[in-house]
Chains A and B, each alone.
Chain A
Amino acid sequence: MGTIISICFAAILTENFVLSKFMGICAFLGVSKKTDTSIGMGMAVTFVMTISTLVTWLINRYILVPFDFVYLRTIVFILVIACLVQLIEMFLRKCVPSLYKALGIYLPLITTNCAVLGVTILMADSDYTNILYPVIYAFAAGLGFTLAIVLFSGIREKLKFCDIPKPFRGFPIALIAAALLAMAFSGFQGLNLPF
C-alpha cells in the first residue's frame, strides 16, 4: 500500500509529467485555454495513458522481451496508442457527442501526446514485476497531467484580461506562466514520504 501511495505522490507532484518531465507540452499549451476543455482533455489523456500502459507493458513483458523484439518497441507502442485513440474517438462520437465536439481536433492529437508514449516507455523500462504498479503509475501520471493542465487553464483564463505587451501575447506569456507554475511544483521535490 505504501508503494502505491508513494507512486501516486511521485507521478502527480514531485515528477509531474508536464511541469517536471516536460512531456505533453504541445497539448498542455494548446488545449489549456478553457477550463472545461482542459478537464475533458485531462480525463481522456488519463484514460488513454492507463489502458495503453496496461496493454503495452503486457506486450513488452510477454512478447517483446522473451522473443528478443525489444527494438520493435517504439513502433508497437505507438500503434497500440493510435488504435486506442481511434476506439475512444468512435466511442465518444456515439455515446458522449458533446465531449466529442468539445475536444474536436485535440482528440486525435492525444496520439501524438509525448506524455502517453512517454509513460508507456518509462514503465516498460522500469523494473516493476507486478502489472499493478505500472498501471497505477500511469493513472496517477494522467491525474498529474490533468492537474497541471487545469491549473494552467485557470491562469490563462485570467491572463485574457491582462494588458500584455504585443510580443508576449499568445505563446510567450503562456510559457512564462508555465515557468512559474513549474517553479511552484519544484517545491514538492523535498517530499520525503516515510515509506
Chain B
Amino acid sequence: MLNKSSSKKSVSTTELKEIFATGLKLCIFMSVICVMLFFVNSITAEKIAEFESKKINDAIITIMGDDPNMTIEPLEDLGDSSVKEVYKIDSMVDEQSQLIGYCVYAKAKGYGGEFNLLVGLNADGTVKGISVISDSETVGIGKKVLTDSFLSKFNGKSEGVTLGSGDIVAVSGATVTSKAVTSCVNSVLDFYESTLKEADTDENNG
C-alpha cells in the first residue's frame, strides 16, 4: 500500500516536471522566433513607411505639377471614414502663399480588396487628376479601371458624378471597381464641400 501511494506521488511530480519542461521549450521557441521577427521588423519597417510616403509625394507632384515654389502641407484631424489624409498645396510666390489646391488620399473598396487613390483638387474644388497609390485588383479586370484612360475622365468634375452619365461609362466587366472609383471621387468632392471649402473661406475672411 505504501509503495503504491509513493509511486503515485512520484508519477505526478515527474508528470509536472514534463509539462513544465514542455511548456518551457515552447516558450523558448516562441521567444526565439519573436526576436528574429523583431530584427526583421526593425530593418523593414522604416522602408515600408518610406515607400508609402514617397509614392504619395510622387503622385502629388505628378498631379499638381513640379513647381519648385510648391509647398505641401499635411492637414491634421480632417479625415473622415474614407479620407485618410489631406494635403494642402500652396505656392510661395513673392513671400505670399497662394492656394493651388488640395490632394486627398482616400480609400475605396474594390473587387480584390481595398485600394488607395490620391485625388488632386484645384483651388475651386474641381478634380485636377487622380493617381493610384496601391491596389489589389485583378490584372485584366479591375486593373483596367485603375489606368489613366479611365481616371482622367473625372478631370474637371466638381459635383456628384454618376456612372453612365456623359462620358463616364464603367469599364465593361469591371463594374465593381468602376463604381468604387466613382463613389470614392464623390466622397472626396463631398468632403471638399463640407470641410475644405469652409476652412478655405474662413482663412480668406479671417
| A joins B in a complex | yes
Q: Please, which residues of chain A bring their CB within 8 A of the CB of B40?
A: 71
Question: Is there a chain B Cβ closer than 8 Å to A190's Cβ?
Answer: yes
User: Are B176's CB and A72's CB within 8 A?
Assistant: no
Q: Please, which residues of chain B bring their CB within 8 A of the CB of A72?
A: 34, 37
User: Are A71's CB and B81's CB within 8 A?
Assistant: no
Q: Please, which residues of chain A bring their CB within 8 A of the CB of B81?
A: 127
Partner of B33 from A75, A125, A189, A190 at Cβ < 8 Å: A75
Partner of A71 from B30, B37, B114, B176 at Cβ < 8 Å: B37
Q: Please, which residues of chain A bring their CB within 8 A of the CB of B34?
A: 72, 75
Question: Is there a chain A Cβ closer than 8 Å to B195's Cβ?
Answer: no
How far is B49's CA from A128's CA once the two chains are assembled, in angstroms?
22
Question: Is there a chain A Cβ closer than 8 Å to B97's Cβ?
Answer: no
Count CB-based A-B contacts (< 8 Å): 16
The number of chain B residues touching the other chain, given as a range, is 10 to 19
Given A72-B34, A127-B81: A190 and B41 interface contact (C-beta under 8 Å): no
CB distance from B150 to the nearest CB of A (A): 19
Chain A, 146-177, CB within 8 A of any chain B CB: none
CB distance from A117 to the nearest CB of B (A): 16
How far is B42's CA from A71's CA once the two chains are assembled, in angstroms?
10
Count how many chain A residues have C-beta atoms less than 8 Å from C-beta atoms of the other chain.
Answer: 7
Q: Please, which residues of chain A bring their CB within 8 A of the CB of B37?
A: 71-72, 75
Q: Please, which residues of chain B bring their CB within 8 A of the CB of A127?
A: 81
Q: Please, which residues of chain A bring their CB within 8 A of the CB of B33?
A: 75
User: Are A71's CB and B175's CB within 8 A?
Assistant: no
CB distance from B48 to the nearest CB of A (A): 10
How far is B45's CA from A72's CA once the two chains are assembled, in angstroms?
13
CB distance from A182 to the nearest CB of B (A): 14
**Could you mark each residue 167-203 of chain B with 1 if its beta carbon is under 8 Å from any beta carbon of chain A, else 0?**
0000000011000000000000000000000000000
CB distance from B157 to the nearest CB of A (A): 22
Chain B, 28-53, CB within 8 A of any chain A CB: 30, 33-34, 37-38, 40-41, 45
Q: Please, which residues of chain A bring their CB within 8 A of the CB of B114?
A: 125
How far is B38's CA from A64's CA once the two chains are assembled, in angstroms?
13
Q: Please, which residues of chain B bring their CB within 8 A of the CB of A189?
A: 175-176
Chain B, 113-145, CB within 8 A of any chain A CB: 114
**Could you mark each residue 92-125 of chain B with 1 if its beta carbon is under 8 Å from any beta carbon of chain A, else 0?**
0000000000000000000000100000000000
How far is B81's CA from A72's CA once the two chains are assembled, in angstroms?
27
How far is B30's CA from A75's CA once the two chains are assembled, in angstroms?
9
Q: Please, which residues of chain B bring their CB within 8 A of the CB of A125?
A: 114
CB distance from A91 to the nearest CB of B (A): 21
How far is B38's CA from A72's CA once the two chains are assembled, in angstroms?
9
Q: Please, which residues of chain A bring their CB within 8 A of the CB of B45?
A: 71
Chain A, 102-142, CB within 8 A of any chain B CB: 125, 127
5 closest residue pairs by CB, A with B: A71-B41, A71-B37, A72-B37, A72-B34, A189-B176
Interchain Cβ contacts under 8 Å between A and B, 16 examples: A71-B37, A71-B38, A71-B40, A71-B41, A71-B45, A72-B34, A72-B37, A75-B30, A75-B33, A75-B34, A75-B37, A125-B114, A127-B81, A189-B175, A189-B176, A190-B175
Not counting A71-B38, A72-B37, a sample of 14 additional A-B residue pairs whose C-beta atoms are within 8 angstroms of each other reads A71-B37, A71-B40, A71-B41, A71-B45, A72-B34, A75-B30, A75-B33, A75-B34, A75-B37, A125-B114, A127-B81, A189-B175, A189-B176, A190-B175
Chain A interface (Cβ within 8 Å of chain B)? 71-72, 75, 125, 127, 189-190
Chain B interface (Cβ within 8 Å of chain A)? 30, 33-34, 37-38, 40-41, 45, 81, 114, 175-176
